[in-house]
Amino acid sequence: MITIDIYSRTPIYQQIVDGIKRQILLGILQEGQQIASVREFSGDAGVNPNTVSKAYLELERLGILVGAAGKGYFVSPGAYTRLREKTVAEEKKAFLDASRQLMQNGITESQLTDWLRELFSEGGNQV
């Protein structure tokens, strides 16, 4: 499911957080659905349970998961919508920041729109 790169400099728990967010955005995990238990994920991914727990707690803090002892973790109601809105907002910010800096380096608006046209004609096939 979620691939972990233990050599990456982004922390493992963060990779788990990102991976679960992504699975929710892709519809692989549905709202209300129970997700893999800490021990289960830990075993599958070859990661220490504490690390998985840290990721799950972070996701709960973000309101994306809800969980409790003896019950397990579930995708919280409304997680998809909130996640999607937040993600788009962050990406828009990244888009505008990059555009602004390019502008300051002398790139014109028409150049940027050209790049966009190329990107969309390609179909943007890439992760």
Partner DNA sequence: GTGGTCTAGACCACG
Partner DNA sequence: GTGGTCTAGACCACT
Name the residues that contact a second copy, by CB under 8 A. Answer: 6-9, 25, 61, 66, 68, 71, 74, 84, 87-88, 91-92, 94-105, 107, 109, 112-113, 115-117, 119-120, 124, 126
**CA 16 – CA 1 distance, rounded (Å):** 10
Collapsed DSSP state (helix, strand, coil) of residue 59: helix
Collapsed DSSP state (helix, strand, coil) of residue 72: strand
H runs (alpha helix) in the chain = 12-25, 38-45, 49-61, 79-104, 109-122
Based on CB atoms, which residue is closest to a second copy, 40 or 91? 91
5 binds, among DNA, a second copy, none (CB under 5 to 8 A by kind): none
Q: Is 24 in the site for DNA (CB under 7 A)?
A: no
What amino acid occupies position 48? N
Exactly one of 51, 59, 64, 75 binds DNA (CB under 7 A); that residue is 51
Give the β-pairing of 72-75 and 65-68: antiparallel
Exactly one of 2, 20, 24, 54 binds DNA (CB under 7 A); that residue is 54
Binding region for DNA (CB under 7 A) out of 21-29, 56-64, 77-85, 114-122: 56-64
